[in-house]
Amino acid sequence: MADLRCDIAGVKSPNPFWLASAPPTDKEYNVVRAFKAGWGGVVWKTLGEDPPIVNVTSRYGAMHYNGTRLAGFNNIELITDRPLEVNLREIKQVKRDWPDRAVVVSLMVPCEEENWRNILAHVEDTGADGVELNFGCPHGMSERGMGSAVGQVPEYIEMVTRWCKQYTRMPVFVKLTPNVTNILAPARAAQAGGADAVSLINTINSIASVDLDAMAPTPTVHGKGAHGGYCGPAVKPIALCMVAEIARDPQCNGIPISGIGGISTWRDAAEFIALGAGSVQVCTAAMHKGFKIVDDMIDGLGNWMDGKGYADLDAFRSAAVSNYVNWGELDINHEIVASIDQDACIKCGLCHIACEDTSHQAIRAARTNGDRRYEVIDAECVGCNLCMHVCPVEGCITMVEVDNGKPYMTWGEDPRNPANMKAAE
């Protein structure tokens, strides 16, 4: 089977599947169970200074969609609520017992040089493989000037990263918040500060839902709710985009990326790796189904790589990055039309009504002797893919390429572009 060994910023693990800094990595007990299940590494639940923080109860909100539990997940928990010394002792023990696994320690302390220098010394003593600076947590800690309050100010990121690089020999991962308008600013700041890698995304500001009886956001704490951090399958597209932005940015200069956000399967992981991720981190999927999911992640990724002839992760890492372009570089002459496999069609009519009501009136609803038939009107189809996406039968509607004989042409080169019209005048 393919070699799944992973090396990111000098941190090695037998596979790229790490548990993200979160409840699954809060204690030795959980982490040992995770390692037994096969996880390649963990980022320990974020440590802070003593006295430990205190959490509220009622902590998680969820977005269940159409029968799917936890399509999105939301929390208002803070960092670890256990004494620093207990965590450090357990980390040391775990690293000693599991030398082949990656153990990275997540940290969050007030934005003062002294505080960072202090805690780094303690962590170094555990033998951990690296640290991850939590500049991402968007709730609670940010109100105390930490987490995303730092992550949203590139100058702070650069400054703290520099301190850490100065006071430790361990690789420094900087965990980024997605609650910014452009992810490149914080990523470039981390790079400038000397970070060995970035981890992203942390959670997105969110209100999971509103309890319409209590008239309060959920999770509701004694009649009130605070915004939380959103994660789970629903955020994956956002995370993929941010990862890709950094992967292709010349200024980020190929900084290693630990990809996070909605990863539930080996396929999700492969997508992140194809867009440039070194390792991947998982939280919600493990909290939803337990540690055993890593079994299929390892197995599935390996089988897929074997099928593709990829010997190791580097064989396909970043393979999709160069194909991630700006809209202006797309081929305006590319043409596809929808095609319905009439034998597979179950006559639900969803393709018709979607196109008829909201798009291009390109699917005809016909009835002959009472039998329904849905047919694409090729001339009206703009190739938007909507029907294919709404069709509940996998593979029933496909988008077929039309060979129109036209060359690859970008909008910039298109004579219909007003800029080109002017030039022609």
Partner 1 sequence: MAGGPQIAAGRLTGRQYEENFDDIKPPLDRRRALIEASRCYFCYDAPCIEACPTGIDIPSFIRKISTDNVRGAALDILNPNIFGGMCARVCPTEELCEEACVRNTQEEKPVHIGALQRYATDNFFETGEQPFTRAPATGKRVAAVGAGPAGLSCAHRCATLGHDVTVFDARDKAGGLNEYGIAAYKTPHNFAQTEVDFIMGIGGITIETGKKLGRDIALADLRSDYDAVFLGLGHTAVRELSIDGEVMSGVHAAVDYIAELRQAADLAALPVGRRIVVIGGGNTAIDIAVQTKRLGAEDVTLVYRRGPREMGATWHEQEIAQTNGVKIKHWAMPRRILGNGSVEAVECEYTQLDASGRLSGTGDTFSLAADQVFKAIGQMFVPDALNGSAQEVLEIANDRIVVNDDRQTSLPDVFAGGDCIAGTDLTVQAVEDGKVAAIAIDRLLRS
Active site residues: 137
* Contact status, residue 204 vs residue 229, Cβ threshold 8 Å: yes
Closer residue to partner 1 (CB): 307 or 392: 392
- Find the shortest distance in angstroms from Cβ 154 to partner 1: 44
What does the DSSP 8-state code read for residue 221?
Answer: B
The residues that bridge with 103 in the sheet, in sequence order, are: 42
226 binds partner 1 (CB under 8 A): no
Closest C-alpha to 298, from 23, 9, 99, 39: 39
Helical packing angle, 154-167 and 184-192, nearest 10°:
30
Tell me which stretch binds partner 1 (CB under 8 A): 256-264, 281-289, 343-351, 400-408: 343-351
Query: What is the Cα gyration radius of the chain?
Result: 24
Residue 206: enclosing H or E segment and its boundaries? Answer: strand 204-206
Closer residue to partner 1 (CB): 92 or 364: 364
| Token code pair at residue 333 | 């002459």
| Token code pair at residue 212 | 């319409």
> Of 222, 289, 292, 347, which one interacts with partner 1 (CB under 8 A)?
347
- Find the shortest distance in angstroms from Cβ 118 to partner 1: 51
- Find the shortest distance in angstroms from Cβ 352 to partner 1: 6
Closer residue to partner 1 (CB): 79 or 350: 350
Closer residue to partner 1 (CB): 128 or 350: 350
> Of 349, 399, 410, 420, which one interacts with partner 1 (CB under 8 A)?
349
395 binds partner 1 (CB under 8 A): no
Tell me which stretch binds partner 1 (CB under 8 A): 132-140, 187-195, 334-342, 347-355: 347-355
| Token code pair at residue 128 | 């951990």
HEC secondary structure over 31-78: HHHHHHHCCCEEEEEEECCCCCCCCCCCCEEEEEECCEEEEEEEECCC
> How many beta carbons lie within 10 A of that of residue 243, not counting itself?
30
Closest C-alpha to 183, from 250, 145, 139, 239: 239
Tell me which stretch binds partner 1 (CB under 8 A): 3-11, 30-38, 349-357, 398-406: 349-357
365 binds partner 1 (CB under 8 A): yes
Q: Which is it for strands 204-206 and 209-211: parallel, antiparallel or unpaired?
A: unpaired
- Find the shortest distance in angstroms from Cβ 357 to partner 1: 9
CA distances from 40 to 7, 34, 243, 377 (A): 11, 9, 21, 51
Cα–Cα distance measured from residue 374 to residue 395, given in angstroms and rounded to the nearest whole number:
15
Closer residue to partner 1 (CB): 212 or 424: 212
Q: At which residue do the structure tokens 């790796």 appear?
A: 273
352 binds partner 1 (CB under 8 A): yes
67 binds partner 1 (CB under 8 A): yes
Closer residue to partner 1 (CB): 348 or 409: 348
- Find the shortest distance in angstroms from Cβ 113 to partner 1: 54
350 binds partner 1 (CB under 8 A): yes
> Of 1, 86, 315, 393, which one interacts with partner 1 (CB under 8 A)?
393
> How many beta carbons lie within 10 A of that of residue 65, not counting itself?
12
392 binds partner 1 (CB under 8 A): yes
| Token code pair at residue 85 | 């010394």
Residues touching partner 1: how many (CB under 8 A)?
13
- Find the shortest distance in angstroms from Cβ 358 to partner 1: 12
- Find the shortest distance in angstroms from Cβ 378 to partner 1: 21
348 binds partner 1 (CB under 8 A): yes
346 binds partner 1 (CB under 8 A): yes
Provide the residue type at 359 as one letter: S
Instruction: Give the residues lining the site for partner 1 (CB under 8 A).
Output: 66-67, 346-350, 352-353, 365, 372, 392-393
